[in-house]
Amino acid sequence: MDNLKEGKKIDTAKLLDPEVVLHPQISKWRDAITVDLKLLNSLKDGQIQDTVFRSKDGKYELLAGARRYFHQKLLGTSWEDIPKKILDDVSDSRALMLAASENIFRKDFNPWEEARAIVSLTTGGFKPKDLAKQFGKSEGYIRSRMALMQLPEKIRDRFEKKDIPIGYAEPVKKLDKYEEAQKKLLEKIVEGMSNRYSGIDTIEEADAFVTTILKQIKDKEELLVKYGPCPKCNSKSIGEGWQNDQLKCGDCNYSWHKETKEPWEYYETKQKLQEMGIKVEEGPETLKLTPRDVASMVTQKAEEQERLTREEGETLPANFRSKATLLMLLEPMITGDNIQKLEVRDERIEIQLIEGFDVYFNGLRKDYADGVSKARIETSGYSSDSTKKIHEWVNQYTPDASDK
Ligand SMILES: [Zn+2]
């Protein structure tokens, strides 16, 4: 008795009288019974409420008052002296209800214990409506407890271990079919418990999160039905891109035009070319443009740029020249339908080729306009290798490119 510590787990199997068995549900519902010194002391002054048993198969099955019973045993009370009521002819379902009435919704029952108990009652044939009436709770309360037990065990663990407020169980449950989203919500809730600005810290916020996510998921599913999976990797995780008619793969990041199925970059380049009045001949995912086409596009852009520059009163730096014409540079690099992407933007052109290296020219100016004027070309590439190759080209055709 002296070595009893508040909160210490009671070894119930050791204390049980040989003639007593526990109702099989009670131990399933309850977490371990622990020492309660206050109860212990009050029992020394006498037990007001009887512990309830029913006779069953020559034994006594404990239905109600398990905590009182085990604390009496801690005090060394014999079976004969335990204050008790023994019921005869109690049906299994009534026994279950008796056990439940005594055990559920007591202060020392945590929500998870309540949830386990309620679920075993409903599987035992009781309806949520009847339980609500019996225990003086709303049906919604009963159902929300049932919802707890439908959460995957992993998720339940997190609720119990992280001490997540029980009210979040319903929104969390709504994402049951979507493990990733559910994990995210839980993380946000846990985060919200320490930082209300970055995480979720109200049930309303959790509900709003669920609504948004479910809508996103629904939208994605609709897209999938309508447009099919990713043309590149066959992933089903497809979503709207940033631009109209664009779809994007969540897995490989590929993007394409949802109707024409063309790679988005290709589609976009085509649109731009058409806007510039260039007739586009299409190959399979390549643009049929001759070096002359490209040169004239660049010329057109360069003229535009030159006009703007003149209006601003800017003059070309003296070293912005070389002996090469644009055509001279382009011709050896571009042959026929070898272009995947072409972009002419102010002073920069970018050409992605199907074969060979990608081409980047900076510093395009009016000098190209007649296709004969000299121009210096700054070059750059995404890799030092392609930069080097372009430089080699430029140097080959512009002997003075190096002496700036
Ligand atoms: Zn993909």
Residue 74: predicted pLDDT: 93
Counting Cα atoms < 13 Å in the Cβ hemisphere of 350 gives: 9
Separation of CA 241 and ligand 1 centre (Å): 13
Residue 371: predicted pLDDT: 45
Digitized pLDDT (tens) for each residue of the chain, 404 residues in all? 556 788 888 888 889 999 999 888 777 777 778 898 988 988 988 888 889 999 988 999 998 888 899 999 999 999 999 999 999 888 888 888 887 776 666 666 777 778 888 888 888 788 899 888 887 888 888 888 888 887 777 778 877 776 777 778 888 888 888 888 888 898 888 888 887 788 898 989 999 999 999 998 898 899 999 999 999 999 998 988 888 899 999 899 899 999 888 888 888 878 877 777 766 666 666 677 777 777 777 777 767 766 776 666 555 444 444 556 667 777 777 776 677 777 777 667 788 887 777 777 765 554 544 444 444 455 555 566 766 766 676 666 655 544 43
State whether 154 and 277 are in the same domain: no
Q: Which two tokens stand for residue 48?
A: 């007001």
Please give the full DSSP string across 253-299, using - where no structure is assigned.
Answer: --EEETTT--BHHHHHHHHHHHHTT---EE-SSSEE--HHHHHHHHH
Please indicate, yes or no, if residue 28 is contained in any of the structural domains: yes
State whether 274 and 182 are in the same domain: no
Separation of CA 286 and ligand 1 centre (Å): 20
State whether 77 and 161 are in the same domain: yes
User: Of 190, 220, 250, which residue constitutes the final position of a domain?
Assistant: 190
Please indicate, yes or no, if residue 20 is contained in any of the structural domains: yes
Please indicate, yes or no, if residue 251 is contained in any of the structural domains: no
- CB atoms closer than 10 angstroms to residue 81: 10
Domain around 271: 265-397
State whether 273 and 170 are in the same domain: no
Separation of CA 236 and ligand 1 centre (Å): 8
User: Of 190, 219, 238, which residue constitutes the final position of a domain?
Assistant: 190
Structural domains of the chain, count: 2
Separation of CA 237 and ligand 1 centre (Å): 8
Residue 368: predicted pLDDT: 46
Please indicate, yes or no, if residue 45 is contained in any of the structural domains: yes
CA pair distance 355, 283, nearest whole angstrom: 14
User: Of 153, 174, 190, which residue constitutes the final position of a domain?
Assistant: 190
Please indicate, yes or no, if residue 175 is contained in any of the structural domains: yes
Please indicate, yes or no, if residue 59 is contained in any of the structural domains: yes
Residue 325: predicted pLDDT: 67
State whether 184 and 312 are in the same domain: no
Residue 22 contacts residue 66 (beta carbons within 8 Å): yes
CA dihedral 68→70→75→81, nearest 10 degrees, is: 70
State whether 162 and 269 are in the same domain: no
* Pairing outcome for strands 287-288 and 281-282: antiparallel
State whether 21 and 106 are in the same domain: yes
Radius of gyration of the chain (CA): 39
Residue 319: predicted pLDDT: 40
State whether 47 and 180 are in the same domain: yes
Q: What CATH number corresponds to the domain at position 68?
A: 1.10.10.2830
Please indicate, yes or no, if residue 242 is contained in any of the structural domains: no
Please indicate, yes or no, if residue 358 is contained in any of the structural domains: yes
Separation of CA 255 and ligand 1 centre (Å): 8
